[in-house]
Structure 1
Amino acid sequence: MSFISVFDVMGPNMIGPSSSHTAGAARIAFLAQKMITGPLKRIEFILYGSFAKTYQGHGTDRALLGGIMGFSTDDMRIRNSFEIATEKGLEYVFTPNEEETDIYPNTVDIIMLNQAGQQMTIRGESLGGGKVRISQINQVDVDFTGEYSAAIVIQKDVPGVVAYITKCLSDRQVNIAFMRLFRESKGHTAYTIVESDGILPEDIADTIRQNKHVQDVMVVQM
């Protein structure tokens, strides 16, 4: 049986009526925008399950838009996220998908396009109490909660890359809490997610990128 703390019962500090539909939504989008180099140009939010049915009434749309602009769950600016996004010139669209039902109830796909033309798709699930899970990156199944600082490495699935990543972190005295590898298929694109007990060195992404098989590195500091 998993442990539930009093903070899980009470929920997080937040703007909006629901820890699942507003705080969780903001948290998913907040994590998503940390995985792509800004500034962002256009965002599409595809909503599933109860997100698709109630996103306007529960303020899920405002929370997602606020999170994608880097607002925390208790940031008062979430209430005015539409206006702020318009002022920033950020294009956005919300697309409810009520046809696909074989999916976790509070799920959103966030399709991000930055000013440099890079596109990334993140799928997130709001688990309740403000807790979330990133379950896909660019259609590859992953498992990332954002509760720890993390390095997310996009790489070619070849021998030696994981050992190289581990050495880079060990050389910088990083204490690894969790390390997992996810891949499309053998020999193709893989994602190594390394979660740390502490803040990661600011230049660790540049260090890991020096390996010729590493395509990109995203550092999410908590």
Structure 2
Amino acid sequence: MKFKSVFDIIGPIMVGPSSSHTAGAARIGRVARTLFGRQPERAEIMFYGSFAKTYQGHGSDVATVAGILDFDTSDLRLKDSLQIAKDVGIDINLSTSDEQREHPNTSRIKLSDQKGSLGVVGISIGGGKMLITEINGYQLTLSASAPTLLVYHEDRFGMIAKVSEILAKHRVNIGYMEVSRQEKGALALMLIELDTGIDESTMKEMMELDYVGQVLLLPTM
């Protein structure tokens, strides 16, 4: 990922000592919360590499939980997030792993409640920026640096074309697209970064396509 300004290197306005270990961790947690769509009853957080070694001193634990609480990186409540999570009834489980990952600042988050669960893997890449590299087993690259459309669908011929046609009809430009599938002909996840947001009617139009199961719009974060 290219850095556009000095603020991409030093990081955003934030609470905490490290843009990588604090702000980046908070954004991973917040994307997980946004994708889950509600306050979870339980959050299981696994830290790897540098995160695992320094998460307490650098605040990666409180930052990740703050993100799960939907707090921004500059929210002063970040430092008290573990207690706040307990107060609102979220069971937090923190652990570390010696497993070698491709990136040293990696965390795995599982959010769950009685309705379901969501698992994500994220990496903090510096300057407060992060990438989500896995959602519920789908391998992908999600930066949340632009409005991002997530379309869960059956792996059928012509699905990319049908979704693209709807976006073109509403004059929405695609900046980046990728499709991840766990098995050929099974379920797939289409990730589309957009130059602008889209309205609910456009998303509804996609939902009405055959073989589409769910459509989500992740805002810029």
**Could you state the TM-score of these two structures normalised by the residue count of structure 2?**
0.93
Counterparts in 2 of 1:1-222, with a 5 A limit?
2-3=2-3, 5-98=5-98, 100-116=99-115, 118-222=116-220
Compared CA separation, residues 186 and 90, structure 1 to 2 (3 A)? same
Q: Secondary structure at the match of 2:42?
A: strand
Q: Is the 8 A contact 2:33 2:39 kept in 1?
A: no
Cα distance change, pair 3–85 in 1 and its aligned pair in 2 (3 A)? closer
Asked if structure 2 preserves the Cα contact closer than 8 Å seen for 1:156 and 1:188, the reply is yes
C-alpha change, 1:63 and 1:182, in structure 2 (3 Å) is same
Q: Name the aligned partner's letter for residue 43 of structure 1.
A: A
Q: Deviations 1:59-92 (Å, cap 9, x if unpaired)? A: 1110000001111111111111112111211111
Distance between the aligned counterparts of 2:63 and 2:37, measured in 1?
A: 21
Contact 1:26 1:64 in 2 (8 A): yes
- How far is 1:115 from its partner? 4.3
Separation of aligned partners in 1, 2:35 and 2:169: 24
SS in 2 for 1:39: coil
Provide the C-alpha distance between the structure 2 equivalents of 1:203 and 1:32, rounded to a whole number of angstroms.
Answer: 25
Question: Which is worse superposed, 206-215 or 40-49?
Answer: 206-215
**Alpha-carbon distance in structure 2 between the residues aligned to 1:203 and 1:96:** 43
Q: How high is the sequence identity, in percent, across the aligned residues?
A: 37
Q: Is the Cα–Cα contact under 8 Å of residues 36 and 218 in structure 1 kept in the other structure?
A: no
Q: Is the 8 A contact 2:39 2:69 kept in 1?
A: no
> How many pairs were matched up?
220
Q: Secondary structure at the match of 1:38?
A: coil
**Distance across 2 between alignment mates of 1:145 and 1:169:** 20
**Alpha-carbon distance in structure 1 between the residues aligned to 2:37 and 2:9:** 35
Query: C-alpha displacement at 1:53, in angstroms?
Result: 1.1
Task: Report the Cα offset of residue 167 of structure 1.
Answer: 2.2
TM-score, with length taken from structure 1? 0.92
Cα shift at 1:101: 1.2
Change in CA separation of 1:110 and 1:3 when aligned onto 2, cut-off 3 Å: closer
Q: Which runs of 5+ in 1 are unaligned?
A: none
Per-residue deviation, residues 69-128 of structure 1 (Å, max 9, x unmatched): 111111111111112111211111111112x11431000111111342x11111000001
Deviating 4+ runs (over 6 angstroms): none
Provide the alpha-carbon RMSD of the alignment: 1.7
The offset of 1:199, in angstroms, is 2.1
